[in-house]
Amino acid sequence: SWHPPYHSSKFRHVYGRVASREQSYNGLQITGGVQDSHCCAVNPQFIAVVTESTGGGAFIVIPVRQTGRVDPHHARVCGHQARVLDVKWDPFNDQRIASCSEDCTVKVWDIPKNGLKENIIFPRKELIGHARWVGLIEWHPTAKDVLLSSAYDYQVCVWRLDTVTAVAKTPVCVIRSHTDLVLSVSFSEDGSRLATTCRDRNVRVLDPRTGHLLQGSYNQSHKAWKVLFLTNLNLLLTTGTSLWNQRQYALWDPEDLSKPLLEEDLDGGCGVVFPFYDPDTHMLYLAGKGDGNIRYYEVSAEKPYIHFLAEHRSLLPQRGMGVMPKRGVDTKSCEVFRFYRLVPVKDLLEPLSFLVPRKVNHTASQRLSSQRCIVSASLVSASQCRSVSASHHLSVSVSQRLILSVSRLSVAASHSQRLSSVSQHLILSFSRLCRIISASLVCVSASHSQRLVSVSQRLILSASRLSVAASHSQRLSSQCRSISFSVSLILSISSDGFQEDIYPMTAGGEAAMTAQEWLMGQNRGPILMSLKPGSKIQNPYPAPVEAAGPDHSANSQNLQNLHEPGRLFPQEEMANQDKEYELANQHVEYDISDLSGWQEDETQGYGVSNTHTPDSVWPHRHGEQTWPESDAYTLPVAEKEMWQLFYMQREEIRSLRQQLDQRDNRIQQLELEIKNMHNQHN
């Protein structure tokens, strides 16, 4: 089908603006590692950059507003024993960050509200489950306290962070579908699917809860490096190389990865191309590692899918890049995207803003600048203040019309002021004239006196009319001043430059569900917020309602105590819960005097109406109690406690498996040693 050569778009003229050196961050000892990660993470409060360090790994955290030169002795997060490979901020907590390292661990840190004042060594939580370097981490986009990690042991682990233990050794899910190193991971919009790229050239779409393979590509013409879900378009984008080592990008249908929808070559460079996507503007940014340019496109759901817009060029190559979340951009300057480029040749972190050129009329506000100086806020009444607050939605064109009318009113007010002053002078002269006439009536004839009286009456009538006009003119001038003041306020608000067409509802900083809800199979999209100043986030999802009962009041209190940070899960709590359950069921009397009528079949033993419970239904093994598998039976403890026991058992099973693997390895080592000893004797 035919497609027009030009694509009409409101983002065709988007351009990049580099911040000045005073607004950048200088003196950073940027890491020199070869890991293909961003090495930088940004949120509206802090910036985290992986730095060089001796004797372990570290990264620095600085406030966004603290621009300029960074103190070389600035406090760092230095709890890793080897080089830090990647850092990521929690999307729902601006003071929590996760890091992975060559020491085979993932650690979660709490950053103080005012920034780092001293080095942080001890993390809030440590995740130990990989056998080799951990190179990638990713937070769940909608569920709270869910973190994903990928390592050089070809495994992808999904962790749950709302557990009570400070050291977690058992992930929720371990994905072992990859045969080589995992290069990148990406969640879908609701977190129900996980896309990965591997060094074996394949792209996979997996279920992150179970690890089952949903889709897989075996295309040999495109070697994928990075993968990214285009969330609101249900498309998948990968960047990599072709058979002729040309850098290219490819577009896929996540439901069918047998053949890409689109393949396009970029250039012959050798650096990894990082893709970034803005779902609000449907803009795609491609930035290469070691390059100085950034290409940006507009993506649509119809062919030809991707439309080239422009390219930003710079002479300084970039080592990595951080992206400011959409809730942190500057809407007054029509900023739609902001990068933070790591420039190692100058130890520089350089902000790069992409702006939509929009013309905002400020001449009207300049015309009223003289009037603002002479008008005080006391002229505006309470009703006018309410009208000003209600008129925030007026556009610039409406405010321009108001300015024209206000200018006319101001001219009328100036004329009315002159009229009032003239009328006051006339009233004074009339009063003097009346006094003269009254004094001269005694020395003139009657005919002349009658004429003077009639003239004086006319003069007094005209003077009264002039006084009324003067009072109306004063009121008019005061109203003109108040209206000009309100319109100046409207202009100051409308000149902020909020453009609703380029700032739709975007993902906010609030989680849509808990980790438990996500693990139970629920899928929810992100909670949206408006970037307009003064707007609030509204959660469309109802809060989970916990079942209340008289038998579990003490257990709920124990659960609150269990979730204190740093507290372990003690065995005494389980013993107390068993005692409470026994006390709660003391009113049930079991008649065990006559067991002759009891038979072990499927019709007895599990119902509520039974008056006896045999030992065969409640077997005891080494002090452990096995519960019957029946839908009519209610579990004695809360659901969260059962999950806690389940995770503890999984951890024990994992440790036993590790011991078995170590035993097998030890057996192989001993066999080799025996063979070597036999060979030496022979």
**CA torsion angle for 19, 23, 26, 32 (degrees, to 10)?**
-50
**Angstrom distance (rounded) from CA 471 to CA 468:** 5
Distances (CA, A) of 264 to 218, 240, 259, 272: 18, 10, 14, 16
State pTM to two decimals: 0.64
**Angstrom distance (rounded) from CA 189 to CA 141:** 7
**Angstrom distance (rounded) from CA 221 to CA 264:** 12
Q: Are 106 and 100 in contact (CB under 8 A)?
A: yes
396 three-class SS: helix
What are the strands of the beta sheet with 203-206, ordered from one edge? 182-187, 194-198, 203-206, 213-216
**Angstrom distance (rounded) from CA 327 to CA 43:** 9
The token pair at 236 is 């998948």
Proportion of the chain above pLDDT 70, given as a percent: 63
Whose tokens are 């661990």? That residue is 105
**What pLDDT sits at residue 385?**
35
Whether the CA torsion 236, 240, 244, 246 is positive or negative: it is positive
What are the E-state strand segments in 131-234? 134-139, 146-151, 156-160, 167-168, 173-175, 182-187, 194-198, 203-206, 213-216, 223-230
**What pLDDT sits at residue 534?**
73
**Angstrom distance (rounded) from CA 182 to CA 132:** 13
**What pLDDT sits at residue 376?**
35
Whose tokens are 């850092």? That residue is 87
Amino acid at 556: S
User: Using a CB cutoff of 8 Å and minimum separation of 24, what contacts does 591-596 make?
Assistant: none
- Where the chain has pLDDT below 50, the residues are 1-3, 361-399, 402, 406, 441-446, 487-496, 545-575, 577-578, 581-637
**Angstrom distance (rounded) from CA 321 to CA 340:** 5
The token pair at 641 is 């406690």
**Angstrom distance (rounded) from CA 434 to CA 300:** 86
Q: What is the DSSP string of 498-548?
A: --TTT---EE-SS-SB-HHHHHTT---PPPEE--STT------SPPPPPPP
Of 623, 537, 633, 624, which Cα lies nearest the Cα of 585? 633
Q: Are 354 and 16 in contact (CB under 8 A)?
A: yes
Whose tokens are 């990214």? That residue is 228
| Residue 452: count of CB within 10 angstroms of its CB | 17
**What pLDDT sits at residue 81?**
92
Omega before 317 within 30 of 0, i.e. cis: no
CB proximity list for 543: less than 8 A, separation 6 or greater: none
Q: Are 580 and 566 in contact (CB under 8 A)?
A: no
Q: Are 237 and 251 in contact (CB under 8 A)?
A: yes
Q: Are 503 and 331 in contact (CB under 8 A)?
A: yes
431 three-class SS: helix
Q: Which residues of 418-442 are buried (b: 16+ CB within 10 A; e: fewer)?
A: ebbeebeebbeebeebeeebeeeee
**Angstrom distance (rounded) from CA 190 to CA 569:** 32
**What pLDDT sits at residue 665?**
75
